[in-house]
Structure 1
Amino acid sequence: MAETRPPLLRLLPFQLIRRPEGLIVRRGIEQLLLGGDEAALVLETIVTAFEHGPTTAEAVAGLFAEPDRPQILALLAYLESRRILVPAVGNLSEAEETETDLLYWQFRQDPESSGRRMASLRIAIAGVNRIGLRIAETLAAVGVQTIDFVDDPMLRGDPVGCTDAVNVLGRVTPAALWEKQVADTRPHCLVAASDFGGQQLLLRWNRVAHQHDVHFLPVTIEELIGYVGPFVVPGETACLACLRARQNANLVNSADRRLAEAQAHRGQHVSVGHPALLAITAEIAAFEIHRFYAALPQWRVGHLIEYNLFGASMSRRRVFKAPRCAVCSPLHEAVPVNQRKMVPMTALMNR
């Protein structure tokens, strides 16, 4: 019978903080308290044992005196239970950990598989503007490699150099051409973004996403409020048209307000805003996308996030489906009954 070899372990980076009663081992938001006068010497010996690569707990314990080895093995088991020591499997490259890798570790996810998942993600952003650009920059920073910009003239911003910067991050495709190609190059998520208001201008992309079964996230800044969502999963959650139907039911003079939204692209030069509001709204949107596709804790779809810069507040509320939504209601997908279909009498008698 083949002898079972002890598993190889590797030691993840951590910060060592000395204190009068022992040590604090810090990694991420975790802090482990180790007591005893010899704690520093013991941990330094353990770190030295892993300097040349993965090794076994038994090999590390062998560096200590025989009477101390049971306690050392218990300490190593504790470090393994807290995921400071982990099995030496997968990619053992010496590349420095990123803050995103540590985020995955913090929430008990494998950084390698999570990184591959984000790298395979395909994102389309309708809106060549500052907020779309900021969303793309943050998504690229967490590993998204395929970002396509859809140039909708109604969502086109006018900052100097924005178009050049967008070209660095991803391809730019005219809206009409992109719509023809979307069935073949279907993204995982379509983001529609406007940093000068005009939620109505995003309805076109809400419908396109629903028609092609693509996740959809609208992002706007309107009257010094940043709006992210609802994150739409076609067939499962409320869509942007549902949100607007419910908003209209509670608005006074909704027709006048919606008329102003439709002309928002013409009023960019008189739109009020602040760089901080734009940045925060874009970062919230990018984080919601990252959280959903990386399966980070507390991800939610079908919710609207509102950020009030001057009120220093953020709220999240669920958006419910509108029963007769013009875009996503099942009523529009019902198969019509063929009243002229002939049914044989024998079929009726045999029921």
Structure 2
Amino acid sequence: MNAFVTLLGGWGESGEAEPIAAALRGLGVEARAASAFGEIDPGSDLVLVLQAERQGAAFNAYALEHGLTWLPVAFSHTVGRLGPIVVPGETACYECLELRGRANGVPPLAPKPSRFDPSWSMVASLAVMETVKWLSRSTNSFAPLSLGHQVEFDAFHLQGEVNPVYRLPTCPSCGLRHQARLAAQPWTEAGLVHRP
């Protein structure tokens, strides 16, 4: 696989990025580190934004402006949320996710100073799996579950949910109401699976 991904955040003391990077490298995927938005190579096939509960909103604006495809990974003690994979101009963005979540009463994940490492290991493994599915989407029949969905997993209680995330036409970041074309429809996300 000639693909490479960038892991934003989680380096250093938190140590969240190292197990993900090691697992990806073990699968033949180059994993690059970034601690700031400007360090991200625009040729990256996917950017995993760790600690999305802290920096997801800010990175969303940056990614939309620079055309970066990214996967938000949020974690709070034992609960992790992955997705949706954000493909600028084609899928729901992070602000669509947040606005719809607030409208439906979904509480945001609160950043916590500690984490339960066995739970983080399971969520990190899910992030690796979703990354590999995204990178190999043109050669296999397994689309990433986080394409068009948010995956929430409580590793301590071994339960989870998969919720669809649709573009919000009135989204201030990616909404298409002001453009003279139709908004992308949810079923068009299937076409992203077969694209190299």
Query: Match for 1:136 among 21, 33, 37?
Result: 21
Q: What CA distance in whole angstroms lies between the structure 2 residues aligned with 1:223 and 1:323?
A: 33
Cα drift, residue 294 of structure 1: 1.2
Cα drift, residue 220 of structure 1: 1.1
Query: Match for 1:178 among 39, 45, 59?
Result: 39
Query: Match for 1:279 among 121, 125, 129?
Result: 121
Q: What CA distance in whole angstroms lies between the structure 2 residues aligned with 1:190 and 1:125?
A: 6
Q: What CA distance in whole angstroms lies between the structure 2 residues aligned with 1:325 and 1:213?
A: 17
Counterpart AA for 2:135? Y
Cα drift, residue 316 of structure 1: 1.7
Q: Give 2:48's aligned residue.
A: 191
Counterpart AA for 1:235? G
Query: Match for 2:134 among 278, 281, 292?
Result: 292
Q: Give 1:331's aligned residue.
A: 177
Q: What CA distance in whole angstroms lies between the structure 2 residues aligned with 1:298 and 1:176?
A: 30
Is the counterpart of residue 212 in structure 1 residue 66 in structure 2? yes
Q: What CA distance in whole angstroms lies between the structure 1 residues aligned with 2:172 and 2:22?
A: 34
Query: Match for 2:8 among 98, 123, 126?
Result: 126
Identity between Structure 1 and Structure 2 (%):
26
Query: Match for 2:57 among 203, 208, 225?
Result: 203
Equivalent residues in 2 for 1:308-323 (5 A)? 308-323=154-169
Q: Give 1:81's aligned residue.
A: none
Provide the aligned C-alpha RMSD in A. Answer: 2.5
Cα drift, residue 239 of structure 1: 1.5
Q: Give 1:148's aligned residue.
A: 32
1:178-231 Cα distance to aligned partner (Å, 9 max, x none): 26xx5xx4311111102xxx6142212222222222211000112521111111
Q: TM-score, normalised by structure 2?
A: 0.77
Count the aligned residue pairs.
174
Relative to its length, the structure with more helix (as a share) is 1
Q: What CA distance in whole angstroms lies between the structure 1 residues aligned with 2:155 and 2:131?
A: 21
Q: What CA distance in whole angstroms lies between the structure 1 residues aligned with 2:70 and 2:131?
A: 10
Structure 1 residues 322 and 142, CA gap change in structure 2 (3 angstroms) = same
